[in-house]
Amino acid sequence: MATPTAEREKANVWFTDHHTENLTLSFRVKGFLWSEKSKYQRIDVLDTYEYGRILVLDGLIQLTERDEFIYHEMLVHPAMMTHPRPRSVLIVGGGDGGAAREVLKHPTVRKVVQAELDERVVEVSKRFFPQLAASYSDPRHELVIADGYEFMGQTEERFDVVIVDSTDPVGEARKLFTGDFYSKVKGVLAQGGIAVAQAETPFLYPQVTKGLYDVFKSVFGHVKLYLAFTPTYQSGMWGFVMGSDSPLEVDRDLLEERYAERELRGSLKFYNPGVHLGLAELPNFLRDLVSR
Q: Which is nearer to its own copies, 151 or 240 (CB)?
A: 240
The single residue of 44, 67, 165, 168 carrying the catalytic annotation is: 165
48 binds its own copies (CB under 8 A): yes
Which stretch, 45-53, 79-87, 94-102, 150-158, contacts its own copies (CB under 8 A)? 45-53
Binding to its own copies by residue 285, rule CB under 8 A? yes
Q: Which stretch binds its own copies (CB under 8 A): 23-31, 84-92, 102-110, 134-142?
A: 23-31
Q: Is 165 a catalytic residue?
A: yes
Question: Binding to its own copies by residue 183, rule CB under 8 A?
Answer: no
Using CB under 8 A, which of 37, 110, 127, 265 touches its own copies? Answer: 265
**Binding test (CB under 8 A) with its own copies, winner from 3, 191, 207, 291:** 3
Question: In angstroms, rounded to a whole number, what is the distance separating the alpha carbons of residues 175 and 40?
Answer: 15
Residue 218 φ/ψ, nearest 5 degrees: -75, -15
Shortest CA distance to 227 belongs to which of 218, 236, 219, 214? 236
Contact between 31 and its own copies (CB under 8 A)? no
- Report the nearest approach of its own copies to the CB of residue 261 (Å): 17
Pairwise CA distance, residues 201 & 25, whole Å: 15
Nearest to 79 by CA among 177, 189, 183, 187: 189
**CB-based burial of residue 48 (10 Å sphere; 0-12 exposed, 13-18 middle, 19+ buried)?**
buried
Min separation Cβ 59 and its own copies, Å: 7
Contact 269, 73 (CB under 8 A): yes
Question: DSSP E strands: which ranges in 121-262?
Answer: 141-145, 159-165, 189-198, 222-229, 237-244
**Hey, is 241 helix, strand or coil?**
strand
Query: According to the binding rule CB under 8 A, does residue 229 interact with its own copies?
Result: yes
Residues noted as catalytic: 165
Q: State the residues that interact with its own copies by CB under 8 A.
A: 1-3, 6, 10, 14, 16, 18, 20-28, 48-51, 59, 67, 70, 203-204, 227, 229-231, 235-237, 265, 268-272, 274-275, 277-285, 287
